[in-house]
Every structure is written in C-alpha cells, then in structure tokens.
Amino acid sequence: MTTPSELESSLDAMRAELEQLRAEVGRWRARYDNGEKRDLAWSNSASEVEPLYTALDLEGSGGTAFEVPGEFPFTRGIHPTGYRGKLWTMRQFAGFGSAQQTNERYKFLLGRGTTGLSVAFDFPTLMGYDSDHPRSEGEVGKCGVAISSLADMEVLFDGIPLDQVSTSMTINGPAIILWCFYIAAAEKQGVSPDKLRGTIQNDILKEYMAQHAWCFPIEPALRLIVDCFDWGATHAPQWNTVSISGYHIREAGATAAQELAFTLADGFTYVERGIARGLDVDEFAPRLSFFWDIHNDFFEEIAKLRAARRIWARHMRDRFGAKSPRSLVMRFHSQTAGVTLTAQQPMNNVVRVAYQALAAVLGGTQSLHTNSMDETLALPTEHAVEVALRTQQVLAYETGIASVLDPLGGSYYVEKLTDDMEREAEALFAQIDEQGGVVRGLEDGWFQKRIAESASRQQWEIEQRRKLVGGVNEFATDETLTIPLLKIDESAATEQTARLGRLRASRDNVLVQQRLDALRAAARGTDNLVPHILDCARAYATLYEIRAALEDVFGAYREPVFF
C-alpha cells in the first residue's frame, strides 16, 4: 500500500518531469519559430493546429488513461469487445430507377459481401410526391429509387427476407409513410414488426437546417417523429426510429465542431419532445441512433466521434436522467464525405474514401458506407460500388485495424483534439440556448447563417489555394474523363406511371378513401398516427395521397426568407 509520503514523492517526481518537459518544449519552440514553414490553412474547423502535442497539453485532463471501452463515458467505444466481437456493418447506400432495378442492385451487393442494405430514394419520394405527380417530372429514379406505394416497396425487397437483413432508409419529410410501407411489405412476407432490424433517418430538424427535404411545418413534423418513437418502442423494438444526422449538416458546409454540436442539439430536442409526450426516456432512447460525415481532416474526424460519445452519455445521464446503460451509448453510422469527392481525376476519390473509412473505423463506427469514385458525376456503376465495398473489406480483413480497441487512445494530439471538440461543442450549446433552442434558432435562421458562413470560408480557402485539393487547384492535368458512368433514362418514369395507373384501377378505392379520411380525423386529434398510416399503406394508398391527407390538417412548410 502506498503511504502518503510515497505518494507525495511520486507527485513531486511527476511535477519535476513536467517542468523539464516544459523547458524542452520551450527550446524546441524557439527553433521551430525561427525555421521556414509552409503557409497552411488550419483544420476544417478553422481551428489553429499546433505543430506538436505533448503531455503538457493534457494537464488537468488526463485524457482517457483511466477509461476502458464499454464503460461510461464511452469515449473509447461502446462495446467492451470492439471489432473483435463484431465488425462494423458494411452498408452500401444504393437506389436508382425503378424498384425492380434497385432490387437487382441489392442482390448484387448482398452477393458480394455487404452486410446491410441502405435505401437511396429519388427526389420526388424524398419530398412525398408520387412518380406521376407534375412536380416529379424529370426527376423520377434519377438520384435514387422511386417508391410511390406499398406495391413498389414489395418489389424493392422481393426475394430479400426482411427478418434476415438490416435496412437503413434515408428519408425524412415523409419518413413515417415510407416506414409504414416497409412494415406492411414485411407483413406480406410474414415478418412481424418486432423482427425487423434497421433504421429510418426521420431527422426533420436537420432538414430545416441544411438539406431542405421537408413536407410539414416544424411542430407537426416533430409530432410524427415522436409518434414513431412511441409506436416503435412497443411494436418494433429492434428498429431505430430516428438517425440523428450530422452528415447533411456537414455536407452543407458546417465545420466538424458545428456538425457535432448542431447534431447533438437536435438529438437533445428529440429527447425533450419524447419526455414531454410522457414517454419514459429509457423506453425510447436506446433506439436513437446517429449518422456522421467523415471528412478529410483525419485526426479531427476521429476526435469528433470520440467526443460525440462522451457528450451524449453525460447529457443523457445528467440532464435527462436516463438510467439504462443502453440509453447512454451512442450508436452511429458513418459515411465518407461526398462533398470531398472531385469530378477532376475521379480515381483520386478512391484514395480519399479509403482514408476517410480508416478514420471512421478508428473512431469506432458501428456501420459504414464508403462512397464510390464516380458519385460526384453520377449514381455509381456496379464496378465503382464494388471497389467502394472492397475498400471496407480490405480495411477489415487485411490491415489488422480491427484487432485493437481505440488504438489512438492516449495520443497527445487525439486526446487534446477530443477535449477541444467537446469544449467547442459545449460553447455552441450555450449559444443555441441563447437563441431560444433549436426550433427557435431554425425559425430565426441562426443555424442556416452559421453553416453558410463556414461554407463560404472553406470555398474561399480553396479559391485562394490555402487549402489544396488534388486535381482541382493543385496537380491538375488536361485529362479527359475516362471512367464509365451510370445513366438513368426516362424508362423508370414511364414504368412508374403505368404501374400507378394499374394500381389505382385494381385497388379498393372506396377503402382507400375511408382510410385517408380516418387519417385526417386522427391528425386533427392526438392519436398516434402510425396505425392510421399503416392502414392507408395496407390499402395501397399512395405516398402523395397520404402526404396530402396530412397536409390538409398540418399545412405545408414554407422556408422563411432571411436577409
């Protein structure tokens, strides 16, 4: 047993070592300051990065020296076994043309080792419009798969047992409707909701903030999300009813710290709304998940993921009173940064994606999508998406990266970055509180302005060549594009229009109208709307018919104009 005098002696020795280090760093700094240096932009967060980090940078912090994975505050990971227990899910985002075409792509991916499906919907679907709606003209199947009814969802997953795959659906404004289509399609396969595993993005706050694919005003949209929490906790306990998404905030131009803080603030808002509904936080919080963008600044991205886990765990325990360990752990999907891909020299994108994927894994992601080299030019070809998938597989099976948990834990730089990221996020939380919270900040345009300012700065740095991008403002050539591209013609729109015509002619239209009327009546009250939307889906009401019924009650969202 260490005596008090021995402990004091040990502390004196430690203090002496730190003073010696301080002197050595001072001498090094003088030599560094007198040396020639390149003119560098700072990190993607515009924060100054020091050229050297030592134990002095962690004074008063301690880093994670006394933390282990799987224990609060989960800085070093949420599972005690890490990737030794289970590798991350390799989930390639895919969707184009018709449901039949995308079904064939899913079977291609499953046959090549992908371990989860991720649905990309076309823009009309993202906005809640049927493929034959006038506003859908020219967009059907172009940036994702066209899904206008349960009939399309049945085709999309034909031959794919929904009790054996995990499915992620990137849909927000009409998310509750598409989720009901999926549940009803599973029922057609004989699979009950409690057997379904997957995620629906369903994060409307970041849509108002960054991506702009919305249907309804903020308050009724939040009601629909809490309806999903409530219904899902009882009927679909393995399903993540929201994926709180920093990805699109970052793609719009936010810094890493803004992505971290704004996304977590959205998450806290959803928790507050669930509690206000009367839900037990430990009933719905375990099914909240997150979605992060993995950008080019390698160490910053790793620190962001480590800080995110720590902040979420602390706030859930201390602010919201969560008691279940499952409510404290942040589970998240990651995707490499689409905004970093270049049309020039597209093969360079393979390298960018590989390093970003490495950062996601070192940061402890549970699920990962790697972008294809051609995605800045078109939807990916089979060859490009196979290379993207193989990137993950090489990382998992050939590099040894999965053998050690949090291998960068203890790095002076990474620990300091993690601490700094947490402090900056907390400072942004205080600013959000000063605005009156997330909803008020959106209504006033505060978030939108902050993101626009960051995006403008980053573009300026590229134009001024303070930030170099290979093939764009440095190492450029006169090469012509040589990689093949996937082209989507108008056949999907023609096919969808014909399918919808046949559907409307063959279904029980009296039943459809009755169920849409019942949905309107329920929307005027306080009922949970999931059962009513499910009834509409089962009767083959279309996406826009259901959206329009809700819009009759809720109205449509109109973005404020800010000057």
Three-state secondary-structure class, residue 293: strand
Three-state secondary-structure class, residue 101: helix
Task: Summarize the confidence of residues 256-280 as an average pLDDT.
Answer: 97
- The pTM of the full predicted model, rounded to 2 decimals, is 0.92
Taking the C-alpha atoms of residue 73 and residue 329, their distance in angstroms, rounded to an integer, is 8
Task: Summarize the confidence of residues 203-216 as an average pLDDT.
Answer: 94
Taking the C-alpha atoms of residue 545 and residue 543, their distance in angstroms, rounded to an integer, is 6
pLDDT of 338 reads: 95
Chain segment 435-469, per-residue pLDDT in tens: 999 999 999 999 999 999 999 999 999 999 988 89
Task: Summarize the confidence of residues 121-130 as an average pLDDT.
Answer: 96
Cα torsion at 432, 438, 440, 446 (round to 10°)? 60
Chain segment 142-196, per-residue pLDDT in tens: 989 999 999 999 999 999 999 999 999 999 999 999 999 999 999 999 999 999 9
What mean pLDDT, rounded, does the chain reach? 92
Tokens of 54: 């030592």
Residue length of the chain: 563
Residues 310/74, Cβ–Cβ less than 8 Å? yes
Taking the C-alpha atoms of residue 82 and residue 216, their distance in angstroms, rounded to an integer, is 40
pLDDT of 379 reads: 85
Percent of the chain with pLDDT over 70: 97
Highest-confidence range of 44-53, 409-418, 553-562, by mean pLDDT?
Answer: 409-418
Task: Summarize the confidence of residues 332-344 as an average pLDDT.
Answer: 95
Taking the C-alpha atoms of residue 215 and residue 205, their distance in angstroms, rounded to an integer, is 12
Task: Report the candidate in 192, 191, 179 with the shortest Cα–Cα distance to residue 240.
Answer: 179
Percent of the chain with pLDDT over 90: 77
Task: Summarize the confidence of residues 127-145 as an average pLDDT.
Answer: 94
Q: Which fold has domain 82-463?
A: TIM Barrel (3.20.20)
DSSP output for 473-521: TBS---PPP-S------THHHHHHHHHHHHHHHHS-HHHHHHHHHHHHH
